[in-house]
Amino acid sequence: MNAVVIVFLLILVLLAIVGLLAILFFVGYRKKARAQGGKPSRFAAYQGTGCQHVPGHIYKQPDPMIYSQQYLLSKGLAVTWKNPDIHLELGGVEVDSSDLKPNTNYDVVARIWNNSLDAVVVGMPVDFSFLSFGIGGTKTHIGTTPVDLAVKGAPGCPAFARMLWLTPKTPGHYCLLVEFTWADDANPFNNVGQHNTEVKPLNSPHAEFVFPVRNEARAERQIDLRVDAYTLPVFPDCGDRPAVDNPRPTRQEVVQRLRRIAAANDPKDFPVPAGWTVAVDPPALVLAPEEERMVKIDITAPDGFSGQQTFNVTGFAGTTSVGGVTLTVTG
């Protein structure tokens, strides 16, 4: 018998011994678990699956995010469709997105955050699109660019994604859409931001806005239009707080902060102000699939008004938001 065959047989014997020992170990482990009350441990839960448990303190996920109206509405919060994380620039100067020139190159700038203190994002593709002005418009792709995102609180967070956009030759208002996907996202529902706003001066003392509402679903549905006067609250000043070694808040602190935020952004606390009249015609639409109809918003200011007043119009199919627009009147 040659040496190669002998070595091969020895390897087989060793593998058989190792396999037998593994079987005896698992049998003993299961008997011990039953003797302790039959509760499977984390290790036992992964037996035979080919998987291993990775403790939470080792495995970390990033959470790339943007001001996402759909996500905030799903949490019962009021929103503005004038997205604070999206703006346009012309020649490096920020411009009013409600007054764009046709067939002109603008830079669309999206500010993207990371809600994770532990995991970064590298090379995440960010998609830029525009919609026809209104609610539920057809999406037209502009382009995609990658972005790197540091952890929360570090240099490089937020990150800014930029995309050159040649506006359509047809004059009009358009809604900007920024969205991104990350395969290992801790919260994939806050990754779409929309910027949809229009400004008009009062005309003794009315302002009239007209825009389309479209049903993008494959079935007929009713879309109800709701109006509020919500605006983004003023962010608190951090002041001269002393630096700390561990800025990570406790779970109780996080819960308390989220409750304060929810209370400050409750939609019922932002009705149409006294003295103002906002007439929506029609206030609800029953639309067939892909059907589009125009809606008129007539806003009347109280006597002697001067300044700016903002209103948000949001479309709902049942409890699901289908989009919206922020309207600002000036006087």
pLDDT, average across residues 33-56: 53
pLDDT of residue 97: 84
pTM of the model: 0.77
Predicted confidence band at 43 (pLDDT cuts at 50, 70, 90)?
very low
- Residue 23 φ/ψ, nearest 5 degrees: -65, -45
User: Edge to edge, what strands does the sheet with 221-228 contain?
Assistant: 197-201, 320-330, 308-317, 221-228, 284-287
- Cα 126 to Cα 191: distance, rounded to the nearest angstrom: 10
Contact 252, 258 (CB under 8 A): no
Predicted confidence band at 83 (pLDDT cuts at 50, 70, 90)?
very high
pLDDT digits (tens, 9 = 90+) for 226-280: 999 999 988 766 666 666 555 677 888 888 888 988 888 999 999 999 999 999 9
pLDDT of residue 274: 93
Task: Give the distance, in angstroms, between the CA of residue 291 and the centroid of all CA atoms in the same chain.
Answer: 27
Using CA atoms, how far residue 323 sits from 69, 141, 308, in Å, is 8, 18, 23
- Cα 155 to Cα 323: distance, rounded to the nearest angstrom: 33
Predicted confidence band at 50 (pLDDT cuts at 50, 70, 90)?
low
Greater confidence, 18 or 175? 175
pLDDT of residue 55: 63
pLDDT of residue 314: 95
Nearest CA to 184 out of 96, 289, 64 is that of 64
Nearest CA to 278 out of 307, 314, 245 is that of 314
pLDDT, average across residues 272-294: 94
> Which stretch of DSSP H or E encloses residue 269?
none
Per-residue b or e along 195-225, where b marks 16 or more CB atoms closer than 10 Å to that residue's CB: bbbbbeebeeeebebebebbbbbeeebebeb
Domains in the chain (CATH in brackets) are: 64-239+247-330 (2.60.40.2310)
Contact 44, 97 (CB under 8 A): no
- Cα 212 to Cα 260: distance, rounded to the nearest angstrom: 36
Greater confidence, 123 or 46? 123
Residue with tokens 């359509």: 168
pLDDT digits (tens, 9 = 90+) for 120-164: 999 999 999 998 878 887 889 999 999 999 999 899 999 999 999
